Amino acid sequence: MSLLTFLYAKKEAASEQLRDALGADLKSMGGLLWSDARTEGAAFNEEVDFQLRSSAAIVHCIGPAGAGFYQGSVEVRKTIEALDARSDRRLVIVLLGGAQIPAEFTDLGRFVDRMKIIAAPADLVIAAKDVVDAALPNGVDRARMAELAKLADKQANDIIDRTIRKVPSRSLTIVVGPYACAESMDLVATPTRGILKMLRGAALPGFAPWFEVMGSIAFACANDKVEAARRVVEALQAVRGVGTLRTYLRMVAASWELLQPAERLFIVSCSPENDIDDMLSGKDGTPVQHVRLVHCTEAQGLIAERKVGSDAPQRIANPRDSLKATDRVVLLKPFGSFDHAERAIFTAEEWREYSNIEMPLPRDMAMQMAKSYVIVLGAGGFSPSLQMVFNALLKTALHNPDGESNRFLLHNPDARVADVYHRTEAMLARGKREDDNPTDRFLNWLLKTYNLRYKMVPPLSMLAALDDRLNSLRRDPGAGRAA
């Protein structure tokens, strides 16, 4: 379920009640609602920008008193910018208690083709369902969404039970697979579309199937690696999508960091792109305190930085030293990072060179990761990038020495991604498993290659449920399980 942003005037009781009803309705289907419950504080303007650009739909709620000052003077302008940025983003205006469209909303009229105005009924539970139906007009199968949400709740509970609640506790590793964004409602955000975008931009025919081939082609057409990286980034940004997955990831990371459990959250990126880096660093909103570890081609092979608050990242002088006890969130970039493009690993030649060279990690981290609970977001078992991460770059860190089974690949069974490699894997994974049939052979291959088990759980729904459990634990250490 996509993310919705809810904007309203502060201290408007009916608006707050609708907000809560809408949040509950979305939560029952594995969705997530963000609202501007506050309109002040450091970086709040950037936070609003980020949320609006990450939303599938924007909801403005108007009570009898009209638009709030911030809503009418700032959020309307930001809404227009977000709607201009993406042609499939929708706008819903909810009128409570006989309210009228305020004068401040005049400029929103040019989006009439994707705008819905709802005169809310007195029953705000019914009003919330009307809002969801208007925000997601292609149809909401509530029974199916509720079924998947229950599976996501079960997975989130299992994660909490086997990490934070386990004695002794263990860390959580989230691997952002190559199709994680595409399975999170950003259907255009696939490697295939990015590769085609770059090739056609360079007036090249044909098709390159994988990311490292894309990097080699870009390098062959450029003067140096920095220019090659720029070409790759431009192509990938053109198909990046609304960023819903990054929003959910940041919420989980922020909740984990605020909870300060005994163990760590490791986020592994299977690309040198900087989208997850920017999300955690607060480029578009509130930053999350974390350590970033970047694999690179220089002598010591590792760049380490610590991001605290709004300050600039601090370079860690001795990156192989053990992390501090307060470093609860760690971002790993095994292919390097495009902000260090000259030292990133993104061509086929570099992949070949580093296929037997592991990413160096701080002391004790590899063992901590090896014993962690591992989830891969989105399909991608056939992807060379996932195989490079598991079997080369992070081979020790992602190999559990005890053979434990807390390792899963989460796949959205309802995602229909226009990518031949994703379709092939999805067809095998979703088939009925029988002895030695194609589905059985594929699942056995996945277990043998990655020690991963397939779970038909939408990544977004699981992250939303996990964030809810983490927040429940923060409010009440005895909580954390769904009712």
Q: Read off the pLDDT of residues 44-83 as tens digits, 9 standing for 90 and up.
A: 787 788 888 878 899 999 998 899 888 998 999 999 999 9
Kindly report, as residue ranges, where domains of CATH 3.40.50.10140 are found in the chain: 3-140
State pLDDT tens for residues 118-130: 999 989 999 999 9
Number of other residues whose CB lies within 10 A of the CB of residue 188? 17
What values do phi and psi take at 7, rounded to 5? -115, 135
Angstrom distance (rounded) from CA 276 to CA 476: 29
Percent of the chain with pLDDT strictly greater than 90: 47
> Which residues touch 49 (CB under 8 Å, ≥6 apart)?
78, 81, 82, 284, 285
Say how far apart CA 308 and CA 450 lie, in whole Å.
34
What token pair was written down for 257?
């960091």
Residues in the chain: 483
Residues 6+ apart with CB under 8 A from 141: none
DSSP code, position 322: P
Least confident of 108-117, 140-149, 462-471: 140-149
Higher local confidence (pLDDT), 152 or 200: 152
Rounded to an integer, what distance in angstroms lies between the CA atom of residue 306 and that of residue 406?
29
Q: Is the separation of the CB atoms in 429 and 379 below 8 Å?
A: yes
CATH T-level fold of 3-140: Rossmann fold (3.40.50)
d(CA 389, CA 397): 10
76 residue type, one letter: V
Could you identify the residue written with the tokens 């260090």?
Answer: 340
Place of tokens 């909401």: 140
For 355, residues 6+ apart whose C-beta sits below 8 A from its C-beta are: 388, 392
> pLDDT confidence of 3, banded at 50, 70, 90?
confident
375-392 pLDDT, tens digit each: 999 988 988 899 999 999
Record the pTM.
0.84
Task: Please tell me the distance from the alpha carbon of residue 400 to that of residue 407, in angstroms, as a whole number.
Answer: 9
Looking at residue 482, its pLDDT comes to 44
Which residue, 259, 156, 207, is CA-closest to 421? 207
